[in-house]
Structure 1
Amino acid sequence: MAASVVPFRIPGCRLDAVQADPSDLTVDASSKARSAVCPGCGHRSRRVHGLYTRSPADLPVSDRAVGLRLRVRRFRCLSEACPRRTFAEPFPDLVARHARRTDRLAASQVRTGLATGAEPGARLLRDLRMPTSPDTVLRLLHRHPVPEAETPRVLGLDDWAWRKGRSWGTILIDLETRRPVDLLPDRTSTAVSAWLRDHPGVEVVARDRSTEYARAVSEGAPDAAQVADRWHLLHNLRQVLVRHLTSVRGRLRTLPGVESLPASEYQPGRRTAAERAASAASRDRHHARYVEVRRLHAEDGLNALQIAHALRIDRKTVAKYLAADAFPERGRHSVPPSVLAPYQEHLNARWAEGERSALVLYREIGALGYSRSSRPVSRWAQGRRTEPHPRTPRKYLTGLREPVESAPRRGRLPSTRKLAWLLVRDPEALDASETAVLAHVRQDTEVARLHDLARLYNRMVREKRPDDLDGWLEASRTSGISALATFSDGLRRDYAAVRAALDEPWSSGQAEGQINRLKMLKRQMYGRAGFDLLRKRVLCSA
């Protein structure tokens, strides 16, 4: 093949020959230079001492891998003071010394590794006719430098889980360019304040309400304005609502009219005796733990952390038990629509006509498009059957007891989290059943007062009304609700950042998005990569 048909150039070289195979392309080339500079003394030499061949890999062409055969000359150094006797001519714009791949191929492999990781990258590179091993991709990634980012004017701070519940790190985002600036291996105030001191010039810092980050910014960048994240402000209010509702849930269950609350449209199937026994045993275990927590606190004087260590349970569970005025019963979970819902009308009609065979009903709705198993149909029929099917064999009727008609399910209070969500939602967005639940719990004066203050707070944050903050803080402090008073005290301690959140447009939303991307990169490496490699991938592939 003629050298002129090669669709790429080789910097500083001339093409000598091209050999084409079905899957490979081999290009013979040699340097155009007549002389070379000795790397030891810097003298130029034109005296050739010998020749040898290098075979680095290059970027592929179409579906063919490309390999170079470089004719390399060794020159004799003519300087008597130089310790080198000979040296090889360099190819500075093409391939590094001792490298097995050209610089442009190495750059492509690095970009692929940054985007996909070592193992997936090696598989992809093999399909792209740039084959290499995962270990080589890792070496190239570790060798790749991290670009130095400019110090941002507006910085976003947030934490991310290196190991969920165990170790945490900090991500720093330039909120103006929407790019990650750096990654820190922990979320302590010492690490963050040291970074801020090393990068002066930050004017605004958007963060969550972590006291560690607040202290770090005050120490590392005392002149920077701190802005609390609005989502975290709303989330903190919901936590307050959950904490208070958990403590008064026993009282809410005794309010008049709880039986008339609307029940869920979709009810779970009838549970077996074994399922009911397991549920009762689980409730008894939790109740015994609740009683023990209260006893250790009242009689032995232990605090929440000491009780958590003694009973080997989470301190949040201990705090919930200590705050509750009665045992917090398990709330009713929302029931998803049944798989039989699209065929409910047909099933009810056939049942009214006298059809009692679950198998016949299953086949009928199967003809209508039902593609699941027969088990839901059998359980549906079992919950409505009050007498044996007429064609039931006699041997199965032995010992049959009289059926008992189950009482209709009455309404119950939703879970505490559901109630907290109802208290912060726009009343116009609630349906009839949710409105009835809200009206029921507002019979409690504390809950009604909490609901009014929660609506004011929600409107203040969403509509960004900084002038309403002082009045709301005072109303919460004097509300008589301890959880809300504690929350308002915390907002007062972070007053400047909270007020800035209602004035400034900045938030931590971009940091949350970058954390999602960071988790994806971490999982691509199966959680086995070190912090340095993860930091490099986050910063270089942004």
Structure 2
Amino acid sequence: MEIVCRDRATAYAEAAKQAAPQAVQVADVWHLWSNLAKAVEKTVAAHYGCLRSAHESATVANEPEPPPVPDGFLDVHGRPRRIVATIRERHRAVQELRATGRSLRGISRDLDLDYYSVRRYARTANVDELLVKVTQRRTKLDDYKPYIYQRFTEGCHNARQLFREVRDQGFPGERTTVSRYVRLLREGMVTTPPLPALPKPRRAPRWILTHPERLRPDEAVGTKEIRAACPEHDATVDHVRTFAGLMHEHHGEGLPAWIARVDQEALPHLGQFANGLLHDLDAVTTGLSSPWSSGEVEGQVTRVKLLKRAGYGRAELDLLRTRILLRT
């Protein structure tokens, strides 16, 4: 029996069908897991507000003052960041033009924006999904802000002294970074203790996609917290772990039931991934049920790319061909 292992691209499926119609097509599990990971990342971004709301609610329960504006929405001077307003305005403009029937190419010309940026704005209904990665970027100072705030309230307003203290604790940044934060404290822009940092937009998906037994204690606690904060995240964790079980135990026959359960949830990104599997169901089922994968091919492609980059600008095709063929 001949096997053709491939990713889920329609062009590859058609090529394999025409070139070897008698072969069994197998969807590569690495690509399946990669597609699922992208769907999980989009799901977390879409419901990141749940984490922020739960985070702020817990803070309000312990503090009489309202929580401060999240740092990601303000610049180093405490003013609203221009990029946040720009993203909101572009998203609104694209959505309005799209509602009138304007094509993406036309919108790109009208707004003088890159086509792929316009497509991203058009496909994202909730602008908060676009703001997650921009506003939730961690800085080197985040882990040291609670200490600086505490020392400031105790009476130490000397930025140089505070810089020396956090530097001794391991702060890797520059003195100007500490000085800017101290200036915000002096000007009253920060009036409550800094909130503990939320998990990065890409950290939470990594927790969800990691086997529970391989999570560190702090990661296990973080996973438990995001599940408790948002029912959509809780459902996503269950679906991901079920899919991982089908993949590791080679139970591809359970895939239709998994797709049906996902369809019952209000998870558009995960549902889109699940429904996409229906268009290539036989190959995906076989991929989840067998040990076949395209790992060897992908490894060779990676090796060739590495050799090509190592010789870029220094040699010609003859040397590259020799190095590829004469592998050690």
Same fold (TM over 0.5): yes
* Alignment-mate amino acid for residue 18 of structure 2: E
Please identify which structure carries the higher helix content.
2
Correspondence 1:518 to 2:304: yes
- Structure 1 residue aligned with 2:191, among 389, 393, 406? 406
Match of 1:509 in 2: 295
Query: What is the CA-CA distance between 1:233 and the residue it aligns to?
Result: 0.9
Distance 1:450 1:306, change over 3 A: farther
Q: Which residues of 2 match residues 418-429 of structure 1 at below 5 A? A: 418-427=203-212, 429=215
- Structure 2 residue aligned with 1:333, among 137, 141, 161? 137
* Alignment-mate amino acid for residue 38 of structure 2: Q
Measure, in 2, the Cα distance between the counterparts of 1:486 and 1:385. 46
Whether the aligned pair in 2 keeps the contact of 1:464 and 1:503 (CA below 8 Å) is yes
Match of 1:324 in 2: 125
- Structure 2 residue aligned with 1:272, among 61, 70, 76? 76
Measure, in 2, the Cα distance between the counterparts of 1:338 and 1:285. 25
Deviations 1:65-117 (CA, angstroms, capped at 9, x unpaired): xxxxxxxxxxxxxxxxxxxxxxxxxxxxxxxxxxxxxxxxxxxxxxxxxxxxx
Correspondence 1:222 to 2:21: yes
- Structure 1 residue aligned with 2:252, among 466, 471, 485? 466
Match of 1:291 in 2: 92
* Alignment-mate amino acid for residue 234 of structure 1: W
Correspondence 1:235 to 2:235: no
The SS at the match of 1:409 is coil
Match of 2:5 in 1: 206
Deviations 1:493-535 (CA, angstroms, capped at 9, x unpaired): 2223212222322323333332332222112222576667644
Q: Which has the higher contact order (CA 8 A, sep 6+)?
A: 2
Count of aligned pairs? 310
* Alignment-mate amino acid for residue 322 of structure 1: R
Measure, in 1, the Cα distance between the counterparts of 2:120 and 2:174. 45
Correspondence 1:435 to 2:224: yes
Correspondence 1:315 to 2:116: yes
TM-score (ref. length: structure 1): 0.47
Distance 1:487 1:309, change over 3 A: farther
Larger Rg: 1 or 2? 1
Query: What is the CA-CA distance between 1:382 and the residue it aligns to?
Result: 3.1
Whether the aligned pair in 2 keeps the contact of 1:361 and 1:377 (CA below 8 Å) is no
* Alignment-mate amino acid for residue 58 of structure 2: S
The SS at the match of 2:5 is strand
Measure, in 2, the Cα distance between the counterparts of 1:372 and 1:447. 34
Whether the aligned pair in 2 keeps the contact of 1:290 and 1:327 (CA below 8 Å) is no
Query: What is the CA-CA distance between 1:290 and the residue it aligns to?
Result: 0.3
Structure 2 portions without partners, runs of 5+: 61-66
Whether the aligned pair in 1 keeps the contact of 2:163 and 2:175 (CA below 8 Å) is no
Measure, in 2, the Cα distance between the counterparts of 1:259 and 1:469. 38
Whether the aligned pair in 1 keeps the contact of 2:2 and 2:22 (CA below 8 Å) is yes
Match of 2:64 in 1: none
TM-score (ref. length: structure 2): 0.72
Measure, in 1, the Cα distance between the counterparts of 2:237 and 2:283. 25
* Alignment-mate amino acid for residue 410 of structure 1: L
Measure, in 2, the Cα distance between the counterparts of 1:370 and 1:422. 26
Whether the aligned pair in 2 keeps the contact of 1:242 and 1:417 (CA below 8 Å) is yes
Match of 1:282 in 2: 83
Measure, in 2, the Cα distance between the counterparts of 1:474 and 1:322. 24
Please identify which structure carries the higher strand content.
1
Measure, in 1, the Cα distance between the counterparts of 2:254 and 2:308. 43
